[in-house]
Amino acid sequence: MVRKSFYLDANGHVNINQKALDAYIKFSNSIAGHGHPSSLSKPGREAALAMEEARGKIAELIGAENSNQIIFTSSCTQACEWGLKLFFDIEKNNYSKDNIAVSPLEHPAVKTVCESLQLLPCTQDGIVEDNLNNSDISKIICVHMQNEIGTIQPIKTLKRKYIFSDMSQSLGKMPINVTDLNVDIAAFGAHKFGGPSGIGFMYLRNIDWWQPFGKGSRYYTDISGSSNVSGIVATAVALEEAIKTLPERTQKMQAFQKTLEIGLKNLGLNIIGDGAPRSFNTTYVSGLTQAQTTLLELSELGIYVGLGSACSSYSSNISPLIKVLGYNYTTDNVMRISQWGEYNDTDAINFLNIFKKVL
């Protein structure tokens, strides 16, 4: 009997959507696939048209008002770095690091750029609070969905004058409208919602904030260098598919999470962020004693989970996030179980049966 595989590390990476892959191949094999969007040749003009259609589709799907608010990058990390550079330079004449506060829940792509900034407080469940008695703070940097524990941050209530948000984890896992959320600059990564790796994009509320990033020629206002038009076309297809399937996937995620977490608690384990608004796709379990060994043994059985952030899974130290929340767990005590929406409550029961045997 072939055992069913469980891909439960979706917060680290989502496999490319089949329709997106088909679109990538079809475009790459077309006349436009031979063109550079800055070229006046027919292949170039068709490549530019395809790229602008993708930009417009992405803008529409995230609730942007104009397609020119979407700027393509080489990754979500670059979108964060470039976006933060632009964010810091808004009202540059009045810039001071004392005017900016950052959440302690950020991914390293944001955290390492913001190390000298004051931190917003947060609850032990991983929800940031804007209770700093500092009227000089005009800018806030806050992730939308925390990548390790899945907590959803109250972006709209944190609004001061300007807000930057890494929204890479939330797009495709919950409804998003950047205009309604009133964010000023946001960063996204295609591989988080079934697009190809190597494609990210920024949203700018005000395109006048744009400044170049990196050297070399560029198409439009995007990353310097030749555009990955095939990847951008596939990204738009993947995002459209992710949003179209979101209601069905949400039902499965919710059923899986409910059954899973009841079973984990019955094993004497804890769920970090249990009392906070969380994505239905993420469960961060603590109380394990040999999480790394358990992960490897599960992998041999076709069950693929994560140890917190995919970016730090090789570390055996205390997770910076867990330390911020007041816990003393190392990567041998915690495990992140995250899915894209393929699995339901029956799958959760099957997972738990195998998990208990491995434990």
- What pLDDT shows up at residue 315? 55
Look at the block and give the residue holding tokens 């899986």: 256
pTM, to two decimals: 0.94
What is the CB neighbour count within 10 angstroms for residue 3? 10
Q: 18-244, what's its fold?
A: Aspartate Aminotransferase; domain 2 (3.40.640)
Q: pLDDT tens for residues 25-54?
A: 999 999 999 999 999 999 999 999 999 999
Domains of the chain, residue spans: 6-15+246-358, 18-244
Q: How confident is the model over 331-336, as a mean pLDDT?
A: 90
Angle 345-358/246-266 helices, nearest 10 degrees? 40
* pLDDT for residue 96: 76
For 114-141, write each residue's pLDDT tens digit. Answer: 888 999 999 999 999 987 776 788 999 9
CB atoms within 10 A of CB 4: 12
CATH for 6-15+246-358? 3.90.1150.10
Residue 2 predicted with pLDDT over 50: no
pLDDT at 324: 87
Q: What is the DSSP letter of 172?
A: T
Q: Which has the closest alpha carbon to 184: 154, 161, 205, 215?
A: 205
pLDDT-derived band of residue 316, with 50, 70 and 90 as boundaries?
A: low
Ranges 5-9, 168-172, 297-301, 328-332: which has the least confidence: 328-332
Residue 242 reports pLDDT greater than 90: yes
What pLDDT, on the 0 to 100 scale, is given for residue 314? Answer: 52
- The angle formed by the CA atoms of residues 355, 358 and 359, to the nearest 5 degrees, is 85
Determine the pLDDT at residue 107. 92
Task: Determine how many CB atoms are found less than 10 A away from the CB of residue 66.
Answer: 11
Confidence at 310, pLDDT banded by 50, 70, 90:
low
Q: Give me the phi and psi of 310, to 5 degrees please.
A: -65, -25
Cα R_g (the chain), whole angstroms: 21
pLDDT computed for residue 182 by the predictor: 93
Tell me whether domains 6-15+246-358 and 18-244 share a fold: no
pLDDT of amino acid 201? 98
Residues 261-296 pLDDT 10s: 999 999 999 999 999 999 999 999 999 999 999 999
